[in-house]
Amino acid sequence: MPTALLKSGIHADIPFHDYLDHPGYGSSDLRTMRIGPPARVLWRRAHREKSETDATRIGTAAHCTILDPTWFDRAFWIKPPLMEFRSAENKAVRDEVLASGRQIITQDAATQIRGVAQAFADKALARESLHGAFSERSVFWRDPITGIMCKCRPDWFDADCVYDLKVSIHAEKEADTLTYRAHTSGWLNQLAHNRAGLNANGRDIKRGRIVVIEPNEPHSVWLLEVRENDLDHLELDNEIARRKIAKCEASGEWPGTPDQWRTIELPASAVYIEDNDLEAAEEVLP
């Protein structure tokens, strides 16, 4: 059966591009709906490839290498230093590599990818969490509240916990800042969405965990855990987003930004002036 027709289940061996082609709504769609306007949901679903950057490609490559250590050599060819594809001989090498299905990457990119993968391997709890876990499963289900089709692709999960791997510069921050970024970037809601999909398919997942790795040296690795009751709270946010999507689907209307001027209020930080600051400002007046 074509992937696009799958209605429910936890499936192995579905290529990522086939997963993306499934019409279900994923966590990125829910986050886009939360941010708004609704029209952006349709645009992003139609232009996913435009959101890819060099940084996200490095993250994706490191992610795949961690989950399947044999993947790197099968997926990449490392370009020798100073090699250019100008001569007929070098062009022939390039064409042969691309025909094999491999991507051509630089020495620096290869070093970065391997550094991230090694950092994960060196972190005992991160490495051990993969033992006996189910990785790269495509999950589809029909939301029981709204009736819309949903999908997720958790990085891995076990009997009690769902995991996500992030390669992000946010790992360079202190713990409190990283936690804040994990929330504002939608990572925590993604965990809740992934848990909902697994549980809708008969699992009993309680907690969520995120492994965050710094893309640059020293490749710091943070291990974050989200409790069951906090995931329940985040799932309420997700439910609201699904309700909005269902409403747009039913009406066929995905509104953009308002067609009117919006009067805004200055934030408190913009209008509050300390007495000392005011006095200092007056001192510099002519």
Q: pLDDT for 200-248, tens place per residue?
A: 999 999 999 999 999 999 999 999 999 999 999 999 999 999 999 999 9
- Asked whether residue 86 is domain-assigned, the answer is yes
Same domain, 131 and 58: no
Query: Can you give the pLDDT at residue 212?
Result: 97
Within this chain, do residues 95 and 133 fall inside the same structural domain, yes or no? no
Q: Is residue 127 one of the residues assigned to a domain?
A: yes
Beta bridge partners of 222: 212
Q: What is the structure's pLDDT at 92?
A: 93
Residue 40 lies in a domain: no
Instruction: Please give, one letter per residue, the 3-state secondary structure of the chain.
Output: CCHHHCCCEEECCCCHHHHHHCCCECHHHHHHHHHCCCHHHHHHHHCHHHHCCHHHHHHHHHHHHHHCCCHHHHHEEECCCCCCCCCHHHHHHHHHHHHCCCEEECHHHHHHHHHHHHHHHHCHHHHHHCCCCEECCEEEEECCCCCCEEEECCCEECCCEEEEEEECHHHHCCHHHHHHHHHHCCHHHHHHHHHHHHHHCCCCCCEEEEEEECCCCCCCEEEEEECHHHHHHHHHHHHHHHHHHHHHHHHCCCCCCCCCCCCCCCCHHHHCCCHHHHHHHHHCCC
Question: If you compute the radius of gyration of the chain from its CA atoms, what whole number of angstroms results?
Answer: 23
Give residue 70's domain range. Answer: 52-122
Residue 181: Cβ-neighbour burial (10 angstroms; 0-12, 13-18, 19+): middle
Q: Same domain for 16 and 5?
A: yes
Residue 109 resides in a domain: yes
**Contact of 163 with 172, CB cutoff 8 Å:** no
**Which pLDDT belongs to residue 175?**
93
Q: 70 and 203 share a domain?
A: no
Residue type, 8: S
- Spatial distance between the Cα atoms of 225 and 211, rounded to a whole number of angstroms: 9
In-domain check, residue 270 = no
> Is 282 inside a domain boundary?
no
Overall number of domains in the chain: 2
272 lies in some domain: no
| Residue 47 located in a structural domain | no
- Please give the pLDDT value at position 47: 87
Tokens of 58: 């490095």
Cβ pair 212, 166 in contact under 8 A: yes
> At CA 214, angle to CA 213 and CA 218, rounded to 5?
115
Task: State residue 122's pLDDT score.
Answer: 98
Residue 156 and residue 109 share a domain: no
19: tokens are 């997963």
Digit-by-digit pLDDT tens for the chain (286 residues) are 678 888 899 999 898 889 999 999 999 999 999 999 999 999 999 987 655 677 777 888 899 899 988 888 888 899 998 889 999 999 999 999 999 988 888 899 999 999 999 999 999 999 999 999 999 999 999 999 999 999 999 999 999 999 999 999 999 999 999 999 999 999 999 999 999 999 999 999 999 999 999 999 999 999 999 999 999 999 999 999 999 999 999 999 999 999 999 999 988 877 665 555 555 555 554 5
Produce one character per residue of 43-73: b if its CB has 16 or more CB atoms within 10 Å, e if not. ebeeeeeeeeeeeeebbebbbbbbbeeeebe
